[in-house]
Homo-oligomer: A and B are copies of this chain.
Amino acid sequence: MVRPGGRSARVQAAVHAAVRELEAEVGREALTVPLVATRAGVTPSTIYRRWGDLQELLSDVAVERLRPETAPQDKGSLRSDLEAWAEQFLEEMSAPTGRAYLRDALLGDPDGSNAGQCSAYAAEQIDVILDRAAGREETTPDVETVLDRLVAPMMYRILFRPEGLGTAYARQLVAGLVGTIDR
């Protein structure tokens, strides 16, 4: 049982904070468990016992950073909302730091729950956009369709073929999606 209020929670916070600080100071490549432990004022065995290894720890921290901080902007129509969201998503995720977090989140994740969380964040954001569109009496696709047609292609290219990704690609996907809603 993780005791939320006490020492465990403080250790957790200290370790996460140490990871972020050291990532910024020495770079992700140079991170090691003993280094993080020292910075967090904790013994290495604590980290090994709680997280297993560096990858799982980095995965936890990465997922936190991938959580969207704000609701998607309201641009007045489904199409423009999706475009704005997709452009921002693509820009953040295809940048070197975004890709690094994404990889970390996927990698150190034996049971897939962190990956699932990433997808859930995207689904939530899309849900907000679709609800808003439905409120405007627009015809909307369902969330799964948007995942397939918009999120999945962006992710695929970020992970497998990162060259030459830009906002034009995001717009093209949105165009293809909203152009085929009613069938």
State the A residues within 8 Å of B (CB).
103, 106-107, 112, 115-116, 118-119, 147-149, 151-153, 155-157, 159-162, 173, 176, 179-180, 183
Copies in the complex: 2
Residue of B147, B151, B159, B176 near A115 (CB, 8 A) is B159
Q: In the bound complex, what is the Cα–Cα distance between A106 and B118 (angstroms)?
A: 17
| Chain B residues, CB < 8 A from A156 | 119, 147-148, 151-152, 155-156
A153 touches which one: B107, B118, B152, B176 (CB < 8 A)?
A: B152
CB distance from A115 to the nearest CB of B (A): 5
> From residue A178, how far is it (CB to closest CB) to chain B in Å?
13
- B160 and A173 contacting across the interface, CB-CB below 8 Å: no
Q: What B residues does A103 contact at CB under 8 A?
A: 106-107
Minimal Cβ-Cβ distance residue in B for A29: B110
**List of 8 A-B pairs having minimum Cβ-Cβ separation, nearest first:** A152-B156, A119-B160, A148-B153, A152-B153, A152-B152, A115-B160, A107-B107, A119-B161
> A145 to nearest B CB, angstroms?
9
A115 to B148, CA, bound (A): 20
Q: Are B160 and A116 in contact (CB under 8 A)?
A: yes
Chain B residue contacts of A173, Cβ below 8 A: 148
Contact of A106 with B159 in the complex, beta carbons under 8 Å: yes
Q: How far is the CA of A115 from the CA of B157 in the complex (A)?
A: 10
B147 touches A152 (CB 8 A): no
Residue in chain B with minimal CB distance to A115: B160
Q: Nearest residue in B to A179 (C-beta to C-beta)?
A: B183
How far does the Cβ of A170 sit from chain B's closest Cβ, in whole Å?
Answer: 12
A157 contacts across to B, CB distance below 8 A: 152
Min CB–CB distance A146 → chain B (angstroms): 11
- Which residues of B sit under 8 angstroms from A112, Cβ to Cβ? 162
